[in-house]
Each structure stands twice: as C-alpha cells, then as structure tokens.
Structure 1
C-alpha cells in the first residue's frame, strides 16, 4: 500500500445516519502518553541494522502495547517505508497454519489463492524475500510461537522488521536480536488526568468544582491506561459531584497494583445495570482476540432474552442501546467499522475477557439473567437458571448421558428448569464429534444454535424437533424446507446455507409470526406462491431483515414484499430479470433503510428499461447496486432518495451501450450522500459539479481500469476527508493529488487524506 497524503486530526462526522440507532463515534480511541513511545519505536524500525531485527514491546496488561503498535503500524511514514506489511494477533492459543495464511493474505493483498495442501510457510518466505517487510505479532505468550512463525520470515539485508508485543518479559530475552526490548511505562499523573478528562468529558473541559476530585481519581489509577479508561466509564455515568468522585478515588487507593485491573473491572461490572451483566459475560465465551460481528451478537442477545424490552417491537434498538452502554464504559472495544461509521465488529480486551471467564467459573457456569422471561416474569423475583455450555462441560454432559445430577460441577438437584446457553463457537464440538446433533437432542431448553461451520447430516430436522424454545437457528445443510421448522413458533432469527435449490412457501413462512431476521444462502431459491395464498397469508410485521444469496423472482407474487411492512434491511441477488417492480408502492416500506440488489451479469443487457418503473423506498439510507446500467433514469431514481448517505456501485455501466462510457451527474444532486464507492464500474469519463455531492466525506474507487480522472469540482466539497484508490491507472491518482493540493492551497489545511493501493 502507498499512502500519498495524510489528514490532520479530523475524523469523519457521523451525522444522523439512519432509522436504526447507530453505534458510531461513541467509542473513539483517545491516545495519550504514547507520542514519545511511538517516536522511539519508529526509529527502531527505520534506523539501525540492515539485517532483519525484532522489535519487542512488553509490559503488563492494560498499558497500551497493542494501541502503541497500531499507532506506529498505521503511521503514513511507516506505511510508505516498508514494501510489505502484515499484522496478526497470536494470543495464548493459536493455530500456526491459520496465522501464516493470515500473514500471507495481507502480504499479497489477497491476490493469490491458497489451496488446502499448499505449503504456506514456503509460499510466505518466497513472497517476503527480497522485500523490506514489517510483520507485527501481537500478544505473544510463549517462545514456541516465535519458533513456529519466525522461521518463515527470511533473513536478508533489506531493513526488514518484526514487531512483537508481549506481557511476558522472559519472551523478550529469547526474541532479542539487535535492538533492546522496549518496556512500556506507566502514564504520568498529568497524562492520566489528560486521558481521564478526555474520556469523561468528550472534548470539553472539566468544571472547576470537579477538578481536584478528578485529579485525585487520576492519581489513584497508578498510571495504568486500562484502569483510567474503565474508571472514566464509571464516573461518566455518575452524578457530577466531587464527593462521589472522591469515593471512587478512595476505593482505588486500597487496591494493590497486581490485581488492580481485575478489581477495577469488577467495579465496572458492579456498576452495570442487571441486564447488561449477562450481555458482557456472554462475550467472554468467544475465543481470545475474536472479532465478534455486532449484528450476530445482538441477535444472540435477543435469543437469550438478556435485554430489556425484549418483548417489544424495539428489540433491536434495545440491544443497540446495550452495546452502546458497554462501549461507553470501555468494557468492550471497537475492532471494525463499516464505511458509514457504524460498528461492525467488537472485541474484549484480554483482561476483560479473563474477568468474564473467572466470573463464569465462580458461578459454576450458571448465570442469572435479568429479565429472565420478560413475557411472563417481568416483575417476578424468581431467577432464570442458565448453564453456559463450555467445552469441558460438553464432555461431561456426553459422558454422563445427560444425567445432570451426575455432573460434579452441578451441585444442585433441581435440573428440570435449566436453560442451556450454547457456546457461541462450537469448534470443539465440530472437531471432536462427527455429529453435534447427538449432543443437542436432549437439551430441550436451548435457545440459540449456531451450526454454520459444519454441514449437518440429513437427520438434522428430526434431531431438533424437541428444541421448541429455539429463538436463533443457523444451519449448514444440503436440503431445507421451511415446513421442517415451522413448529418453532418462537424463532426470531433463521440463517440457512444450502448447496441445493430451495423452494419456500410464503404461507408456511407466515405461520412463524415471531421471525425477525432471515438470511438464506443457497444455489438458488424460488418462492412458491399462488393467488389463494396471497389473499389468505398474513403480514409478518416483526420481520426486520431479509436476505438471500440467489433468488428467482419470476414466479413471485408482486405483492409479496407487502407482507413485510416494517422491513429495515433487504439484500437480494437476483438471477433473472424481474417482470415487475420490487416496490410497487414505495411508501409501504417506510422503515427500509438498507437495500442491496445484485443482478446477474448474464441478464445485464436485458435489464435496460426495467429502471423506468423502478422506485426505491424513500427512506433508504444505504444502497448497494451491482450489475446494472446507470441510465439517466436510474441515476435520477437514486438522486430522489433525499436521505441516502452511502451508495456503492459494483460492475455497472453508465448510459447503456454507448461507445463512450460517460457518467454525467452535473445537473444531479445527492443531497445527503457521505460515502460513494465505485467498484469495477466501466466509467471512462465522469462529469460532476460542486453541487452534485455537497456533503460527501469519503470516495472509494477500485478496479476501474479505464477511469482517468476524478472531477476537479471535488476540490470544492468542504466535507471531503478521504479518497481511496485501488488498482486504478496513474492518472486517477494524479487527479486525486491535484484535488488534495488545491484544497490545501485554498484552505491552508491538509484535511484530505489520499490513499493509493496497487
């Protein structure tokens, strides 16, 4: 990657994003006290020996080792200096091949496919040799990890570097080459206060009456950034009174430094509302350093009924509020953002995850969830008794033939009311047992099954007949019929991956009145409808998201989507030319904010003219279109979406079969568009005025080999902050730099970042 421009300290503003409450800029990493450390590490990377060197950063958990490494790794100078860069999290439990594959993918920009029998280590050595490379191995626990991986990083005199973070000082001695290990220091009292103030007041200054108490709190954090951040999450939620803040400081003063992180997390945990506690502990069940998909996690929370308001139409909103609360308290971290500033992945700091696992162990894998059943017991004092199914409990369950009173860790007699919460990642089950269904058939109270990692045998439908409490079901199967699960009346989320053609009857779907999220990935899917069903089939008013990989719409009733009046997200890969508009009356879907449509390239030229009667729902915020012509009517249909914030166009052609593919939007305005992505769009010329994209923040262009120039009018867009170009011709990069230069000359600020990747 080559970064040819940088931005200042500005960030993209999130603004008002969608009908869906966004989890956006509520968690912005505030880096304090690492500037000097970053300079030292950078000097170690770019100066010194030409031989390969290992730069180690070590220190206790919570000091910011990974944060420092990220800060250096993403520095534009470092990005330019090294030919090849790759980052991987090693952690305590790791798989050598998996890590090497990840490094290889990053080193080759994922351009070379890896086969199952390939020698990845040898392939990686060949890619790295002769190049000046930077490899980051984050969170190494054992020398063996270096012995497994380090042999794949060739010795050469190119100035290559391997940067390692570890909490184990003994590891640094074995890794030391030319440079001395770098011990990360604690924050000074001034730096601790600076970080605390920024986290609590979000850019504002501390009121004078709280200053002394705030300084006392910062002082008692003993320079540990993680403690500062967690304490900030606590006091930000308390009343702004000096006496309350001093109580926090006094509590901190009694903690020994060795257990300080853990006890501060306990304090943060104690301050959580009851319904947030199981939400946090549940995340500890995911593997170490796992990037948890937020959409997936929220659906699991709903299935387990962890969240207040779980019985209302606002279940998703309630879950997003819980996620925001945990982010605000810095108990969970953002580990991936969508292009429109929404959190896509989250994760737990190692210390927080360790706390969660300790807490679950102390409770003998049992956790009281509140509310345990909001439909019946919202004001009840009875507890819902749950068991988290960890890998060792799985073995004991199987060994004891599910005689729960024979399992040593379960020292109680009343087992009939137990509700089982399945481990979110069933890796052990998949590897150890050929048929995980045998282990589940007796767990009558299971609410969530995620079995996408292994194709189940044909007996799957029979095996889950008794699991009537299921709210969440994700399956990978050869054959699937909706009638096989129609008895699961409580089902909220259905995800199916199938290698065969599926035929789904709308009438059967309508029986499952609590369905909220459906995603089907199959060879292709056909809806079997008839007029009698259309008149008798009811509305699925709870349906929020619907997506399918391949769908044929030719036999589908034009009024089908009217059954989903509250749909918010829709994604379709259409395998034929529809004979009717998808949204005959756009106002029916006033809640739809995200739409993704992909059309078959085989049918591309037959699509011309279809857009004439295509009307998008008016409240769309995010639109992805693939495989269609950008005719004047289609562009105007898009421009009519006054709330549209992001537009992604993939494999499109402007103005049909014209010899010269010119996309002219000079007289068209996209009033709310903040993100525009053009991927493999066959544009040769692009015309736009300064009024075409008045609030655009980010432009991404990839694989547009004939596209020569970004319109010069982009220099007049005051909100533009980033341009990303990938696999484009040089003249496009020149035009981007000209825009950056003009903005700097006109404003005196280098606010535009330009990133060019070959």
Structure 2
C-alpha cells in the first residue's frame, strides 16, 4: 500500500455499510435534511463556472506592480528585502503573485521560490516549501532530512545564483530569523519579497528600509473589479449599474470585499441588489471589520446545504492548499452531501465546490489537466471567519495546542474536533469526548519515526465517523483499536502497512 494514502480496510467496510442507514437516521445535524432537499430540487444545478471565471481577476495593480518590480530589479547589488504591507483583504498576496509571474522578474532572476508563512508554521515546512520550488523532483528526499540539513541544502542551491524568494503573510520576526541564514549574499542583486499585515514587523526585517504600503482601490477600480467578477451576467440595466457603482464604492477600496459582494450579487435579482446597497450604506465600519461584516452577509445568503461545507474549511490550517478529492470525501463522510437520482454523490460534492467558487468564497489553487479543480484554498480572513463562526454555532472546535486539551471544556453536542499540535504529542494522546463525530489532527514539527502510538482513546469515541491522522506516520502496524469504530466512514493514515486480508 502506498506510503501516504486513504486506506479503507475490509475489517470494517461491511459493518460500515450495514450501519450507514442507521447512522443517517440518528444524525441530529440539521444540515443533512437541507442537503437532501436541495438535491431533489431543480434549482440545485451546478454553477456555470468556467476556467476563465475561476482564475483570479486583477484590477488596478499595474502601477503598484511596477513599483515593486523596480525595487526588485534595480538598486543595490547587495541582498535586499522589499516588503508589501497593508490590511487583510487589500490584495497583498495578489500583488506579490502578479510580480512573481511577471516576465521581467522571470528573466531577471535565475531562481524564484514562493513560501507562504502564515501564523502557524514550523521551520522545516518552510524550508521544504522553498526547496520544492527550486528542485521539485527531490521533494521526497528532502522530507527525510532534518531542519539543519535542509537549511544548509537551501544555502548551497542559492549560492552563486541571483534569486528572488517570496515570503507571503509573515506575522513575526521569528519566521524571518529562522530563514535568513539560508539566504546567501553574493552581491549579485538577489532579493527577498515579504508581504505582511504588520508595518512594524517589516521594519524589524529591514530597519533602514521603508515598507511599501499597498493602496486601496479607487471607486472606478472597485466598479471595474465588480463588473469583471460578474462577467457571467449579460449586460446591466441602468438601475443595476447605478446600484452596482454604489455598492462598489461602499466597499471602501478593499478588493476582497468587492469580490465577496460580487459572489452575492451574482445570485440575486434587482431587489436583492437594492437590499445589499442599503445594508452597505448603513454600515459605516471600514477595513477588517467591514470585510468581516461582508463575509457574514455572504454567509447568510448561502443556501443552508452549503453553510457547513464552507465552515468546514476552518478545520484546515490557514493558507493551506486542500486537495478537492480529500475535501469532498470528508464532506460526504460528514453527511453534508446527498446523492440524487441524476448523479453520483461525488459529482454532487463537486457541484458544491463549484458553487462556493462561483460565489468567490473558495479560490482555485491548481486545476486538473483534464479540467476541473485539483486543489483549492480560502483567503486567510475568510479562514478567521469560518473558525469564529464554526465555534459560535458549535459546529467545529479547534484546539491549537496539546496542553489546551487538558483545559478544554467540551461544548454539548460538539461534532467536529480539530487539533493543531506537534507530532510528538500524538504519542500519548488522551481524549474523552464521547459525542464527537470527527477528529482531525494537523501535525507540525518533526516526524516521529518508530514511535509506538496509544490508540486507547478511540474506545471513548463510539460515534466517530471521520478519523483523519494523515500527517502522522504509524509505521508498519495498523492500530487494531480502529476496527472498533463501526460507524467510521473516512479513515486517513500514513504508514507502510499491508492489508493482511488480501494476503
């Protein structure tokens, strides 16, 4: 069996099938009934989203991009840092991507690499991400190396070359400090491009420099962006144009706000546009708070069956690129997606993904060579919203550190529990949450090869349907305790185990 895979074992498959109907009947999740109802109605047609419309639309950044390109390609030959700063939703990452893929940058630098840092990170993962951009074919070999060896390998690869490294979404100086020593200064014009919400952090990286504050869109640029995101609408009557311009203006120059609003407007008739315009006009907040209020508005306008699918993104790490096959299988196992007479449950789940993309809530990271979406992600501000809303609705709970489990007061009827912790903490994991249906463990830090894991906690999780431990290497032994989880629908493990039932 492959080293990393979704493993379905015969010892539980038949029991799961027999209990599937019963499990659905005892499900007290209201979203399931909404999904069943939606699957039977003609209005639940997949959104007509083409490849051209799911690609990122960029408006009003040409002047900003040229400024950054000039800073990267001109000036001192010494290794230098360029920072783009601004509030969330302003388009820092979009601008950095535009620069990164610009022909001038591609021809000027011998090596380019992109690394998304975010709030939660570990040094090894950051190094692996940079190395994967430089030598993709060696990714498996690099994953077996320790941090120090990876740092030295990166230094050797960059030595003597003119390189440009993008560090996206940097939150603290520590992240910069752990990477800086891997960036050689050969006085050949190499550059580091950082994006951050924090002006002060950028100054810590380069005290003598001046970070580039990304400007907000003008009213005309906001209206242009709104129109481009609504490209599937054929023309606008005068009344809608007036409303659209008013709505775009009230987004206060925040591209994310414009894009999210476009996702709402695309599903509404003129009366709905009037309601949105009125709500935005009465909303005098700006910046991050405005984006959050617009995300709340977008969430309220979602069909009920899509709401749990969106909130489920809060179960993943910020800025994480998620394989669509994994996401849809999790949705299905959770009971969010229902099969209808006309298509398979997997195809229906794909429709859900496309519906969220058409509303500009989910973004495409990679496309399949045969068409469709391979991986996706959400904006970090939307991730914050999903985490907060999921907690508010008692839908999903995140525990960010292992020690939080000891003080974690389980809410009644909590179904999904996600743990972000070090891999080493899984060795002696102790859980007693008998009501949860899903357990997802996102690991950080070094891999724990050869460890013996204690799976006795599963005896307290009789209702478990989803067990995702895909970032933990269990070695050669399949934990027999998992066979006791008779309601399990989704199991993800890593290891070099063999299915003895086929021998």
Separation (CA, whole Å) in 1 of partners of 2:103 and 2:63: 17
Q: Which residue of 2 aligns with 1:729?
A: none
Q: Which residue of 2 aligns with 1:34?
A: 61
Describe how 1:587-598 pairs up with structure 2 within 5 A.
Answer: none
Describe how 1:447-596 pairs up with structure 2 within 5 A.
Answer: 447-452=465-470, 453-455=472-474, 458=477, 460-461=479-480, 463-475=481-493, 476=495, 478-482=497-501, 502-503=502-503
Distance 1:322 1:428, change over 3 A: farther
Q: Which residue of 1 aligns with 2:213?
A: 183
Separation (CA, whole Å) in 1 of partners of 2:446 and 2:104: 46
Q: Judge conservation of contact 2:89–2:256 (CA < 8 Å) in 1.
A: yes
Structure 1, residues 196-228: CA drift from partner, whole Å, max 9, x if none?
111123485433231111111111111100000
Task: Please state if 1:421 is matched with 2:438.
Answer: yes
Out of 93, 102, 124, the residue aligned to residue 120 of structure 2 is 93
Separation (CA, whole Å) in 1 of partners of 2:469 and 2:500: 17
Q: Which residue of 2 aligns with 1:172?
A: 202
For residue 473 of structure 1, report the CA deviation from its aligned partner: 2.5
For residue 104 of structure 1, report the CA deviation from its aligned partner: 2.6
Q: Which residue of 1 aligns with 2:99?
A: 72
Separation (CA, whole Å) in 2 of partners of 1:261 and 1:315: 33
For residue 86 of structure 1, report the CA deviation from its aligned partner: 0.7
Out of 184, 189, 193, the residue aligned to residue 163 of structure 1 is 193
Q: Which residue of 2 aligns with 1:195?
A: 225
Separation (CA, whole Å) in 1 of partners of 2:368 and 2:396: 35
Separation (CA, whole Å) in 1 of partners of 2:159 and 2:83: 22
Distance 1:276 1:365, change over 3 A: closer
What are the ranges of 5 or more consecutive residues in structure 2 without an aligned counterpart? 1-47, 398-411
For residue 116 of structure 1, report the CA deviation from its aligned partner: 2.1
Describe how 1:364-443 pairs up with structure 2 within 5 A.
Answer: 364-365=394-395, 385-391=413-419, 402=432, 404=433, 418-423=435-440, 425=442, 434-435=452-453, 437-443=455-461
What are the ranges of 5 or more consecutive residues in structure 1 without an aligned counterpart? 1-20, 368-383, 405-414, 483-501, 504-758
Greater RCO, 1 or 2 (C-alpha within 8 Å, sep 6+): 2
Q: Judge conservation of contact 2:123–2:178 (CA < 8 Å) in 1.
A: yes
Structure 1, residues 110-133: CA drift from partner, whole Å, max 9, x if none?
459435256222222222222111
Separation (CA, whole Å) in 2 of partners of 1:215 and 1:53: 41
Q: Judge conservation of contact 1:46–1:159 (CA < 8 Å) in 2.
A: yes
SS at match of 1:465: helix
Separation (CA, whole Å) in 2 of partners of 1:464 and 1:143: 42
SS at match of 1:425: strand
Separation (CA, whole Å) in 2 of partners of 1:109 and 1:321: 32
Separation (CA, whole Å) in 2 of partners of 1:59 and 1:445: 45
Q: Which residue of 2 aligns with 1:299?
A: 329
Structure 1, residues 366-420: CA drift from partner, whole Å, max 9, x if none?
59xxxxxxxxxxxxxxxx955211328999xx99862x5xxxxxxxxxx7xx451
SS at match of 1:87: strand
Out of 159, 175, 180, the residue aligned to residue 145 of structure 1 is 175
Q: Which residue of 1 aligns with 2:145?
A: 116
Q: Judge conservation of contact 1:199–1:232 (CA < 8 Å) in 2.
A: yes
Separation (CA, whole Å) in 1 of partners of 2:111 and 2:462: 52
Q: Which residue of 2 aligns with 1:82?
A: 109
Separation (CA, whole Å) in 2 of partners of 1:177 and 1:231: 38
Separation (CA, whole Å) in 1 of partners of 2:420 and 2:266: 39
Distance 1:439 1:31, change over 3 A: same
SS at match of 2:120: coil
SS at match of 1:93: coil
Which has the higher Rg, Structure 1 or Structure 2?
A: 1
Out of 357, 364, 374, the residue aligned to residue 334 of structure 1 is 364
Q: Judge conservation of contact 1:85–1:134 (CA < 8 Å) in 2.
A: yes
Separation (CA, whole Å) in 1 of partners of 2:468 and 2:272: 44
Out of 272, 290, 308, the residue aligned to residue 244 of structure 1 is 272
Structure 1, residues 572-623: CA drift from partner, whole Å, max 9, x if none?
xxxxxxxxxxxxxxxxxxxxxxxxxxxxxxxxxxxxxxxxxxxxxxxxxxxx
SS at match of 2:268: coil
Separation (CA, whole Å) in 2 of partners of 1:124 and 1:429: 18
Q: Which residue of 2 aligns with 1:281?
A: 311
Separation (CA, whole Å) in 1 of partners of 2:243 and 2:97: 32
Distance 1:430 1:439, change over 3 A: farther
Separation (CA, whole Å) in 2 of partners of 1:362 and 1:187: 32
Separation (CA, whole Å) in 1 of partners of 2:84 and 2:187: 23
Describe how 1:688-707 pairs up with structure 2 within 5 A.
Answer: none
SS at match of 1:335: strand
Separation (CA, whole Å) in 2 of partners of 1:393 and 1:88: 21
Separation (CA, whole Å) in 2 of partners of 1:28 and 1:76: 19
Separation (CA, whole Å) in 1 of partners of 2:126 and 2:421: 28
Separation (CA, whole Å) in 1 of partners of 2:194 and 2:368: 28
For residue 229 of structure 1, report the CA deviation from its aligned partner: 0.4
Separation (CA, whole Å) in 1 of partners of 2:381 and 2:123: 24
Separation (CA, whole Å) in 2 of partners of 1:54 and 1:321: 43
TM-score (norm 1): 0.53
Q: Judge conservation of contact 1:286–1:424 (CA < 8 Å) in 2.
A: no
Separation (CA, whole Å) in 1 of partners of 2:300 and 2:178: 41
Describe how 1:605-754 pairs up with structure 2 within 5 A.
Answer: none
For residue 54 of structure 1, report the CA deviation from its aligned partner: 0.5
Separation (CA, whole Å) in 1 of partners of 2:290 and 2:128: 37
Distance 1:401 1:228, change over 3 A: closer
For residue 283 of structure 1, report the CA deviation from its aligned partner: 1.4
Q: Which residue of 1 aligns with 2:33?
A: none
Distance 1:186 1:317, change over 3 A: same
Distance 1:26 1:298, change over 3 A: farther
Q: Which residue of 1 aligns with 2:408?
A: none
Q: Judge conservation of contact 2:53–2:229 (CA < 8 Å) in 1.
A: no
Q: Judge conservation of contact 2:203–2:209 (CA < 8 Å) in 1.
A: no
TM-score (norm 2): 0.78
Q: Judge conservation of contact 1:276–1:307 (CA < 8 Å) in 2.
A: no
Distance 1:53 1:305, change over 3 A: same
For residue 144 of structure 1, report the CA deviation from its aligned partner: 1.4
Q: Judge conservation of contact 1:51–1:156 (CA < 8 Å) in 2.
A: yes
Task: Please state if 1:127 is matched with 2:157.
Answer: yes
SS at match of 1:299: helix
- What is the RMSD of the two structures over their aligned residues, measured on CA atoms? 3.1
Out of 90, 102, 108, the residue aligned to residue 129 of structure 2 is 102
Distance 1:474 1:392, change over 3 A: closer
Task: Please state if 1:319 is matched with 2:349.
Answer: yes
Separation (CA, whole Å) in 2 of partners of 1:150 and 1:228: 36
Q: Judge conservation of contact 1:430–1:436 (CA < 8 Å) in 2.
A: no
